[in-house]
A = this chain, B = another copy of it.
Amino acid sequence: MKQSIHHLAVETSGKGLVAITRPVLAWVAAQGIATGLLTLWCRHTSASLTVQENAAPEVRDDIARYFEALVPEDARRYAHDDEGPDDMPAHLRAMLTDTHLTIPVADGRPVLGTWQGIYLFEHRRQPHRREIVLHLLGE
């Protein structure tokens, strides 16, 4: 049984989903582990992780629109706005989605379903450099 850790940097260009399936799968493949457990940890409270449909592009727009309505950028609702009107909504959107994902690995790859993609969900308006820690355990 062995472990590997990797820091994946993801550049975002403002709010929305950024596909990270490819670099994640590539890193896992390079570790030479057949069976194991992969964990992704997002080191931020204003960006998060999610697993979503990886085919239809309009899904991403629908997700963006839905979260704008679910957690509105409405300054009157929030006391915390140190970093602007998107600050507190970003924290809430992160709470409602995932800070971490843990995916079994079999036959050398994470057991994602055919249509599942892994995404970083940026909640801030400005571009950010986000850091995801990948941890793989197995043999």
Contacts and interface: CB of A to CB of B under 8 A. Distances in A.
A115 B107 CA distance: 36
Contact of A111 (B3, B104, B133): B133
A32 to B, nearest CB: 16
Contact of A39 (B37, B50, B51, B59): B37
A20 interface: no
Contacts of A80: 56, 58-59, 62
A82 B39 CA distance: 32
Interface residues of A, number: 59
A103 B41 contact: yes
A58 B79 contact: yes
6 A-B pairs closest in CB distance: A43-B113, A104-B135, A58-B79, A58-B80, A111-B133, A62-B78
Interface of A: 1, 3, 5, 35-37, 39, 41-45, 50-53, 56, 58-59, 61-63, 65-66, 70-71, 77-80, 82, 88, 91-92, 94-104, 106, 111-116, 131, 133-135, 137-139
